[in-house]
Amino acid sequence: MEFQHLKIVEHPSGAILVDLDVRDKRLNVLSEEVFADLDEVIRHMAKSPKERPIFLRSGKEKGFVVGADLRRLKELTEPEAVDRFLKKGQETMRAWAQLPNSTVAWVKGMALGGGLELALSCRYLLVSQGPNVQLGMPETKLGLLPGWGGTQLLPRRIGFEAALTMLLTGEPIDESRALALGLADGTWATDSEAPELESWIETLQQKQGQSLPKRPTHAELQAERARFDENLPPWSQLLGETVAEEILRARRAILSAVFKGIEKGIEAGMDEERKQFCPLVGDPKVQAHLDRFMPKK
């Protein structure tokens, strides 16, 4: 099979390695074309024996995926087009999450925004060791909220309060914090990647049919949500009026999506993400933030 932005490599062990290398970009970013390639992989992998683990990796020298293609996002001037862009990504990531195989995000360096959402769509997240590791959802710094399921996936991985801190501040975390929170399930050393990969493949093949690492239950999320209003003072700085207006709106939108997902389920939460995202992205101040954060080609 041939793809525009990725390639599939079959490891001698039987594992499948999916290397993401977005064409004509210095770093990996997500767009409709990339999602189309991932959709083809999903269709192909759906026919593959579930005993074969699938590793999603970066083919770039630096980083995993740094988020959405902001240039593409700025081209979308109509709310309906923005909604289609978000829904396409949500559908692709949900389909990836539903593969029966052990899917693994083999994260090198940075996984930010949509990159972390893609990693969270995998059953396991293994992160490289070293000072360049950054895992985060920085959308709030742009005056936006995650649009590909981040407000739903992050709480279900690390719990309500830890996820809310990451979402509302937009600050990334490092390798040690990711392990402590349960965001990362393990680490690997970049200077011995090949043997580390083989070791993890063997470990996952031995774990076939066993339970996943402990994740927060729905009841636990609901309990944390119930305590939120009681413990509002510690959050007052994040929800107060000490930040720019567009940042405050984004934080309130994040809360709306997180709450909806806990109360009504993940699909309702993803619908709320798109509903909240579309009005925000057209704000001139948000557009100015997008210009400043635009990565070089």
Q: Which of 76, 87, 133 is nearest to 110 (CA)?
A: 133
Residue 117 designated active-site? yes
End-to-end CA distance of the chain: 27
Starting from the edge strand earliest in sequence, which strands make up the sheet with 124-128, in order? 6-10, 16-20, 54-58, 103-107, 124-128, 186-188
Select which of 51, 80, 139, 272 is catalytic: 139
CA distance 144 to 165: 15
Q: Which residues contact 128 (CB under 8 A, 6 or more apart)?
A: 107, 108, 109, 175, 187, 188, 189, 190
Select which of 117, 175, 196, 272 is catalytic: 117
CA distance 99 to 122: 9
Catalytic residue numbers, as ranges: 117, 139
